[in-house]
Amino acid sequence: MFEPEKIIVPPHTAISLHDYATDYTGTLKDSKQAKEIRQVNLEKMKDLQDKLYAYDRFALLLIFQAMDAAGKDSTIQHVMSGVNPQGCQVFSFKQPSHMELEHDFLWRTYLAFPERGRIGIFNRSYYEEVLVTHVHPEYIFKQRIPGIETLEDVNDLFWKDRYRSINDMERHLCQNGTVIMKFFLHVSKKEQKKRFLKRIHRGEKNWKFTMSDVQEREHWDEYQEAYEQAISHTSTDHAPWYIIPADHKWFMRTIVSELIVEKLESLHLHYPRVTPAQKEEIEKARIKLEAQSD
């Protein structure tokens, strides 16, 4: 369906987003074929989610990062439409609150991690702290970090420390049962402009558009560099980055669903095995229930 080297980022490898096509569609022919595959994956995901919950050894964390209008919301909606909402948690990380700024930059993340047996979805995430802040380093001053007084202090060493903190946290999570999948939805600047104009011209889409979208677009190249740095420093064996071509939404959604199913299947999930003592109790319960009158 797709060539891994076009999507999966090798661990600790310096990448350039220019090497990853935004309009790649692999062997998929069209949206109809993609929808059929996605529907099969939805059915598989229902079964796998049920086993994930019953097995109660792993949690699955899905992280979605992207430029504005890349399709994070719609991808989450389409890919996860078949899962049981009781076993799924979605968090959208906004501008840090006053309380959150009183803690380290990863503190609020810990409050949102999924427990074992559940799927957690981050619509944007702690990676904003090495993306938005990389483009707007003045935001760092709000965090009142000792030794960070001027823009010169927000240097290469500062960012390497942040990447290391993220890698250490993700390694700790993985060692304790959280499976992490990180998706960068890679949209072209041309396609983003097209989608912004669509939001403007369609009244029902106006609510999704703000002037800040256009203002941030002016920093396109800076954001591309920030993503390249973050992905290069934090794609690891245990928590890889997937660069998903996002110009064709039907391909993007299908590949994300395919990757999630593959990951869950690799965990060899199964329902808890019933012990002889439990079987005996079940048999007693059956006999008792059948003996009762309605």
pLDDT tens digits along 8-39: 999 999 999 999 999 999 999 999 999 999 99
- pTM, two decimals, is 0.94
Cα separation, 252 vs 242, in Å, equals: 11
Cα separation, 156 vs 180, in Å, equals: 26
Q: Say if CB 29 and CB 252 are below 8 A apart.
A: no
- Backbone dihedral angles phi then psi of residue 112, each to the nearest 5 degrees: -110, -5
Return the number of other C-beta atoms located less than 10 Å from residue 108's C-beta. Answer: 17
Q: What amino acid occupies position 212?
A: S
What tens-digit pLDDT sequence spans the chain (294 residues)?
Answer: 899 999 999 999 999 999 999 999 999 999 999 999 999 999 999 999 999 999 999 999 999 999 999 999 999 999 998 889 889 999 999 899 999 999 999 999 998 999 999 999 999 999 999 999 999 999 999 999 999 999 999 999 999 999 999 999 999 999 999 999 999 999 999 999 999 999 998 877 777 778 888 899 999 999 999 999 999 999 999 999 999 999 999 999 999 999 999 999 999 999 999 999 999 999 999 999 999 987
Place of tokens 């790649």: 24
Query: How is residue 8 annotated by DSSP?
Result: B
Structural domains for the chain: 4-291 (3.40.50.300)
Cα separation, 159 vs 137, in Å, equals: 11
CA distances (Å), origin 91, targets 73, 94, 97, 217: 11, 9, 15, 24
pLDDT tens digits along 114-123: 999 999 999 9
- pLDDT for 201 equals 87
- pLDDT for 81 equals 87
Return the number of other C-beta atoms located less than 10 Å from residue 94's C-beta. Answer: 9
